[in-house]
Amino acid sequence: MKRPLLAVAAATALMASTAIAGAETLRWARAGDSLTLDPHSQNEGPTHALSQQIYEPLISPDMEAKPIPALATEWGVKEGDPNVWVFKLREGVKFHDGADFTAEDVVFSFNRAKMESSDMKELLVSIKEVRAVDDYTVEMETDGPNPILPNNLTNLFIMDKGWAETHGVEAPAEFDTGEETYAVRNANGTGAFMLESREPDTKTVLKANPDYWGKGEFPLEVTEIIYTPIQNAATRVAALLSGEVDLIQDVPVQDLQRVSDADGLKVDNAPQNRTIFFGINSGDDDLANDNVDGKNPFADIRVRKAMNMAIDRDAIKMVVMRGQSAPTGVIIPPFVNGWTEELDKYPKADVAAAKALMEEAGYGDGFEVTLHCPNDRYINDEAICQAMVGMMGQIGIKVNLVAQTKANHFPLISGKETDFYLLGWGVPTFDSEYVFNFLVHSTTDERGSWNGSRFSNPEVDAMIESLGSETDIEKRDDTISKIWQIVQDEQIYLPVHNQVLNWGMKDNVNFPVQPEDQPHFKFLQYN
């Protein structure tokens, strides 16, 4: 199916009264903080959630994760040239410091996001050139027709070129090395909220942008946001129950009923666009974090399949997650193009069969390995890892658990320093290509940055790369299906479940749960 020559995006932004019902401070908490304010340095959910308040993309997800116009008002394929997308920009927009927003800023931001230190570059691999036609028109030329290019842009934030040059932040900060730049702790966007103060891992204060272009299109009832990361689950719930905060994104599953029953509070939930899974280094000749010398036990597919069979996903759902998860056999949720019921099937836990596979692979006596896990990123992340320790122990794999903050955990994966790890993956493009680019493609300068499995297959790489320019939807979907079959047959990853989101909030807050766990507070209304 071909795209129309120039498809004007539907202007579906929520219309609301222009009147602001008094000054409202929204006190917001979640388990972990944003990793950085640099909008291109980290492709991570809580980081994007804070950036979405301050910065804006060309195309934004709404509270249903549907794309709506933001800094672009319309977009489509250029007539007569299927390799070029044309974006008409919103006029009259100003950055928080008063500078005008123009096409020059878009060109600068996309070129910045394509740099080596950017964690967003996989989303832009098909783009050959971004050019300004005039102050409010941008063309993006792709390496062959790219029918889903707009899907990749909803977390690609636009910076002011002049501000970046003034403060020496023309390139994204190198997160894995801890590089500190002006953009890491300061921000200048076009969004509904302006940065007032920033204390990483402690408190971030945002104020309403008095000159926001979206007045009249969004409720804009929140005039101040006080964002406080609270890692400890009990402390986070206590803050909500006591009225210290108004909304928490991650109500612990053991406290759902308690919060729901509390006067003046409510819990809203929704399936999340995120799968939790374990990564295993099957590509290296030897592991750095095990007790087997000279070889890699994970390289044997029988070991990987034994580990998959030893995971009791139903027990994790009932005991660890208190019923608040959807066990799965594939690392994409049902929202995503490429998902099928067949892929979603997972094996029932079978310790005897798993032990037989371990014996067949020559590891009947097991081995020892380190498991790295975050303790402030996903719902019950450390508890899931603790359950995994016990399940692997049943088949002879002694697991040494190292749980730490996501700021320390994620660089181990992207730096290929861990052999066994927990990771969660959302798919903002709602297409399997996003997963393949980051998690399946061989690690190169442009792709595979989160492929901690070290899986590498040139034929699979070629299939992944073809997805960015294949306009025949049926053929494209067939390629996606073939790639998933290889991923599953090779047991590259060990899927656990799709998360269920539970947001706890004051009952006068009217704010639906967003499937990507990204609250856009310009949409929030009070009853």
DSSP string of 355-390, one letter each residue: HHHHHHTT-TT-EEEEEEEESSSSTTHHHHHHHHHH
Residue at 340 is within a domain: yes
Residue type, 101: F
CA angle 420, 329, 155 (to 5 degrees): 75
Residue at 453 is within a domain: yes
Collect all residues with Cβ–Cβ distance below 8 Å to 106 and sequence separation of at least 6.
Answer: 58, 71, 87, 89, 130, 132, 138, 158
Q: Are residue 214 and residue 159 in the same domain, yes or no?
A: yes
Lookup: tokens for 376? 């402030």
Q: Are residue 125 and residue 196 in the same domain, yes or no?
A: yes
298-334 pLDDT per residue, tens: 999 999 999 999 999 999 999 999 999 999 999 999 9
Which CATH number covers residue 158? 3.40.190.10
Q: Are residue 496 and residue 512 in the same domain, yes or no?
A: no
Lookup: tokens for 210? 């008095």
49-85 pLDDT per residue, tens: 999 999 999 999 999 999 999 999 999 999 999 999 9
pLDDT at 208: 98
pLDDT of 11 over the 70 cut:
no
Neighbours of 468 (CB within 10 A): 21
Where residue 22 falls among pLDDT bands split at 50, 70, 90? very low
Q: Are residue 173 and residue 33 in the same domain, yes or no?
A: yes
pLDDT at 20: 37
Q: Mean pLDDT across the chain, nearest whole number?
A: 94
CA gap 252, 383 in Å, rounded: 12
β-strand pairing of 265-280 with 325-327: unpaired
3-state secondary structure labels for all residues of 15-52: CCCCCCCCCCEEEEEECCCCCCCCCCCCCCHHHHHHHH
Q: Are residue 83 and residue 207 in the same domain, yes or no?
A: yes
The 3-state DSSP class for residue 401 equals strand
pLDDT at 6: 36
Residue at 2 is within a domain: no
Collect all residues with Cβ–Cβ distance below 8 Å to 317 and sequence separation of at least 6.
Answer: 323, 324, 325, 326, 327, 497
Collect all residues with Cβ–Cβ distance below 8 Å to 150 and sequence separation of at least 6.
Answer: 9, 59, 67, 75, 85
Q: Are residue 304 and residue 226 in the same domain, yes or no?
A: no
**DSSP E strand boundaries for 120-213:** 127-134, 137-142, 193-199, 203-208
pLDDT of 16 over the 60 cut:
no
Residue at 240 is within a domain: no
Q: What percent of the chain has pLDDT over 70?
A: 96
Q: Are residue 305 and residue 425 in the same domain, yes or no?
A: yes
CA gap 156, 137 in Å, rounded: 17
Residue type, 132: A
Q: Are residue 410 and residue 438 in the same domain, yes or no?
A: yes
Q: Are residue 382 and residue 437 in the same domain, yes or no?
A: yes
Mean pLDDT of 19-41: 85
pLDDT at 205: 98
Neighbours of 340 (CB within 10 A): 12
For the chain, how many structural domains are there in total? 2
Which CATH number covers residue 343? 3.10.105.10
Q: Are residue 181 and residue 290 in the same domain, yes or no?
A: no
Q: Are residue 355 and residue 409 in the same domain, yes or no?
A: yes
Q: Are residue 448 and residue 353 in the same domain, yes or no?
A: yes
Residue at 521 is within a domain: yes
Give me the phi and psi of 359, to 5 degrees please.
-65, -45
223-280 pLDDT per residue, tens: 999 999 999 999 999 999 999 999 999 999 999 999 999 999 999 999 999 999 999 9
Residue at 283 is within a domain: yes
Lookup: tokens for 234? 């009990």
Residue at 400 is within a domain: yes
pTM: 0.86
With CA atoms as reference, report the closest residue to 414 among 183, 119, 157, 204: 119
CA gap 520, 523 in Å, rounded: 6
Lookup: tokens for 331? 């690392």
Contact 436, 479 (CB under 8 A): no
Where residue 17 falls among pLDDT bands split at 50, 70, 90? very low
The parent domain of residue 445 ranges over 272-500
89-130 pLDDT per residue, tens: 999 999 999 999 999 999 999 999 999 999 999 999 999 999
514-523 pLDDT per residue, tens: 999 999 999 9
Lookup: tokens for 399? 């697991």
393-442 pLDDT per residue, tens: 999 999 999 999 999 999 999 999 999 999 999 999 999 999 999 999 99
Where residue 7 falls among pLDDT bands split at 50, 70, 90? very low
Lookup: tokens for 216? 């009249």
Residue 263 C-beta-side C-alpha neighbours within 13 Å:
0
Lookup: tokens for 31? 């388990």
Residue at 491 is within a domain: yes
Mean pLDDT of 183-192: 98
Neighbours of 351 (CB within 10 A): 14
Q: What percent of the chain has pLDDT over 90?
A: 94
β-strand pairing of 509-510 with 420-426: unpaired
Where residue 15 falls among pLDDT bands split at 50, 70, 90? very low
Where residue 3 falls among pLDDT bands split at 50, 70, 90? very low
